[in-house]
Amino acid sequence: MLLYGLGKFICSIIYRFLYRIEVVGRENIPKKGSVIVCSNHISNLDPPLVGITCPRPVHFMAKEELFHKKGIGWILRNVKAFPVKRGMRDREALRKALNVLKEQETLGLFPEGTRSKTGEVKKGLAGAGFFALRSDAVVIPCAIIGPYEKFKKLKVVYGKPVQIEELREQKASAQEVVDVIMGDIKKLVDGHKR
């Protein structure tokens, strides 16, 4: 936890020096209980940005290859990130993510699975819907509105919780749930563009 706090402090100084960060809707994130923050993905710089703007510590999934790199692998392991094998069903990563939520903590996901080079919100993968349906977590949509350009405004918008209970009652599939989440993210992006 100490290293996470230190990392957040250092990243916060760097990001706030490089970008004019504006955060909207931070009050939508519950102070207690399990939370899933689902964000669009426009840059490799997104996870630290969500980490410094979210009022709670965030556990992120990161591609497994990063954990094998010297330096960055050690950092990731010490700032609440955990590995996921891409392109296959990774049971260990699924278990770890569900455990984060069971422990009433915050899980950060980028449902698109990869960066959007155009900045447009793309279709999400079913994983975020799976975690939403398999837990009692509050799902918070998050929009990162860039681009990342030095000394220009970078906006992070946290929306109101997604109505997961209604989707459960409708017996929605994991993909249908993630489609709703991505729809909420797109509304945030469209509503807060410069």
49-58, 80-89, 121-130, range with the lowest pLDDT: 80-89
For range 74-89, the mean pLDDT = 77
Mean pLDDT of the chain: 91
Query: For 115-149, how does the pLDDT look when each residue is reduced to its tens digit (9 = 90+)?
Result: 888 888 999 999 999 999 999 999 999 999 988 99
- Angle 40-41-46 from CA coordinates, rounded to 5°: 110
DSSP character at residue 147: -
Rounded to the nearest 10 degrees, the angle between the axes of helix 46-53 and helix 2-18 is 110
- Delineate the domains of the chain, giving CATH numbers in brackets: 2-192 (3.40.1130.10)
Contact 131, 98 (CB under 8 A): yes
Answer yes or no: is pLDDT of 32 > 90. yes
Query: For 62-81, how does the pLDDT look when each residue is reduced to its tens digit (9 = 90+)?
Result: 888 888 887 787 778 778 88
Around 152, how many Cα atoms within 13 Å sit in the side-chain half-sphere?
7
The type of residue at 92 is E
130 — phi, psi (to 5°)? -60, -50
For range 7-13, the mean pLDDT = 91
